[in-house]
Amino acid sequence: MSLPLLYLILLFSSRLFSSYPQTKTYFPHFDLSQGSAQLRGHGSKVMNAIGEAVKHVDDIRGALAKLSELHAYILRVDPVNFKLLSHCILCSVAARYPSDFTPEAHAAWDKFLSSVSSVLTEKYR
């Protein structure tokens, strides 16, 4: 894993748990200290899922179908948490790459992450 990606993973994970402490309830078995192996592991899974969505931007629903089912039916994650995570990722990308985070990039990231969140919450309906 590259250092910039690791930094981004740690940044959005820390931001999620500090800004929205209620999200910690889904990880009672995790060491939630900054930089823990479990946080890095989950953050890597999140970034891999985003990577899959990017690779299949024309079929995000198909690319994330199993993940959507897992979170809806097995883990029973409150759907609002996907929007919270998306917001933390957006803020982390902006903080990590400020000169590249133009208004156009912001709009594109926001639209993409909103699509990902929407797909991940479809199974709840």
At residue 1, the pLDDT reads 59
At residue 2, the pLDDT reads 64
At residue 101, the pLDDT reads 95
- Tell me the pTM: 0.88
At residue 111, the pLDDT reads 97
Sorted by where each begins, the domain ranges of the chain are 3-124
User: pLDDT digit of tens for each residue in the chain (125 aa)?
Assistant: 565 667 777 778 888 989 999 999 999 999 988 888 888 888 889 999 999 999 999 999 999 999 999 999 999 999 999 999 999 999 999 998 999 999 999 999 999 999 999 999 998 86
Measured in degrees and rounded to the nearest 5, phi and psi for residue 99 equal -75, -25
Residue 61 to residue 123: CA distance in whole angstroms: 11
Cβ neighbours, 10 Å, residue 67: 19
Residue 85 to residue 87: CA distance in whole angstroms: 5
Topology classification of domain 3-124: Globin-like (1.10.490)
For the CA atoms of 111, 112, 113, 116, the dihedral, rounded to the nearest 10 degrees, stands at: 120
